[in-house]
Amino acid sequence: MTDFLFKRMTLIGIGLLGSSISLAARQKGLVEHIAVHTRSSETLARAEELGLGDSYHSDLGESVEGSDFVIVCTPVGVCEAVAKSIAPHLAKGAIISDVGSVKGSVIQQMQPHLPDYVEFVPGHPIAGTEQSGPDAGFAELFVNRWCILTPPKGTDPAAVDRVEEFWTALGSNVERMDAHHHDNVLAITSHLPHLIAYNIVGTASDLEIVTNSEVIKYSAGGFRDFTRIAASDPTMWRDVFLHNKEAALEMLGRFTEDLTALQRAIRWGDGDALFDLFSRTRSIRRSIIDAGQEIEASDFGRHLKEGETHAAKLASDDHEHTGS
Ligand code: NAP
């Protein structure tokens, strides 16, 4: 059979993103061979039990040998070390990509180490859940989600087209943009909301006037939805903030100013200011639902009926996840 998009794809890191790519690529018949590398022998063994690859490699260099497509699916903080290790083993003409939630830093970390006979097409699927590890993956993760490609200047357009074709086949809508712009947009749509969630859950757990059992008991009052985001992987999110520092601080500055204005409105009893803002924000949620990026249900479609699989739920109600 010759109509595979890639002959041999290496996934470096086989957590939520790596395992979902593996399952989806196999389901769609996009690659002939999937090679898997991850840092720990435990995760590698689990990936093998789950059948996520065709070959399993504890040696990073060996895992990319002969591959025409390599996707780095690790936390963004290790991209430089990964690029250094794989560089001498990469095949001529191979396409190197990633799924990191930050793009400027990934390019800075990786590009200087990659040989000029490979093509570098960084990517970020805006699709995720608060789960991590190889058991968390599912083939439908990318369906109807955006995937942003940020190829640096000079990348062969044919290589970018092939990566776009790959993500489109996984069900994503693909957009190309400059890495700097990506990092600013994601700072407000994803990174800041995660920081707010981590902060509010941290504040609640530190409060002495409210007991822990009350926090849990009355969580449906809004807190519960923040806890889902605040349960996201600590390593991944630590790296996101360390590697998108400038944009995150800029958005945090604006957020703090707006919060101060709200504080003033409450203090001075300015109901109109509060009502105006709350009306504006309500219409933004409506636009997100209209754009098919969320559903109307008050449980955000998160409750599975007994026996219903995650994938079936997603397929049936087109669906739930916040992208990261
Ligand atoms: P994950 O489930 O925690 O998996 C991370 C994987 O990277 C694991 O296989 C882990 O290996 C491996 N790893 C960690 N450090 C490594 C190292 N030094 N060398 C080699 N492998 C290493 O993470 P994820 O959610 O898939 O996220 C992976 C990437 O996708 C991150 O860059 C994140 O920014 C991006 N992303 C995440 C989401 C999301 O919602 N989760 C969405 C879009 C993009 P071991 O288990 O063997 O230690």
For residues 215 and 204, the answer to whether their CB atoms sit within 8 Å is: yes
Ligand 1 atom closest to the Cα of residue 20 is 26
* Residue from 20, 21, 39, 72 to probe ligand 1 pocket by mutation (most atoms less than 8 Å from CB): 39
Q: 234 and 298 in one domain? A: yes
Ligand 1 pocket: which of 14, 16, 70 to mutate (most atoms within 8 A of CB): 16
Burial classification of residue 286, based on how many CB atoms lie within 10 Å of its CB (0-12 exposed, 13-18 middle, 19 or more buried):
exposed
Domain endpoint, select from 177, 206, 240: 177
Task: For residues 231 and 140, state if they share a domain.
Answer: no
Single-letter amino acid, residue 245: K
Per-residue pLDDT of the chain (324 residues; tens, 9 = 90+): 558 999 999 999 999 999 999 999 999 999 999 999 999 999 999 999 999 999 999 999 999 999 999 999 999 999 999 999 999 999 999 999 999 999 999 999 999 999 999 999 999 999 999 999 999 999 999 999 999 999 999 999 999 999 999 999 999 999 999 999 999 999 999 999 999 999 999 998 888 777 778 888 888 888 899 999 999 999 999 999 999 999 999 999 999 999 999 999 999 999 999 999 999 999 998 888 888 887 776 544 444 444 444 444 444 433 334 456
pTM of the predicted model as reported, rounded to 2 decimal places: 0.91
Q: Atom 14, ligand 1: which residue's CA is nearest?
A: 74
In a domain, 142, yes or no: yes
Pocket test for ligand 1, best of 74, 129, 228 (most atoms within 8 A of CB): 74
- Asked whether residue 292 is domain-assigned, the answer is yes
Domain span holding position 145: 6-177
Query: How far is the C-alpha of 5 from the C-alpha of 47, rounded, in Å?
Result: 23
- From ligand 1's centre to the CA of 236, what distance in Å? 7
79 and 193 together in one domain: no
Structural domain contains residue 1 = no
Question: How far apart are the C-alpha atoms of 311 and 143, rounded to whole Å?
Answer: 11
Same domain for 293 and 213, yes or no, is yes
Which atom of ligand 1 has the smallest separation from the CA of 14?
Answer: 9
How far does residue 95's CA lie from ligand 1's centre (Å)? 20
Number of domains in the chain: 2
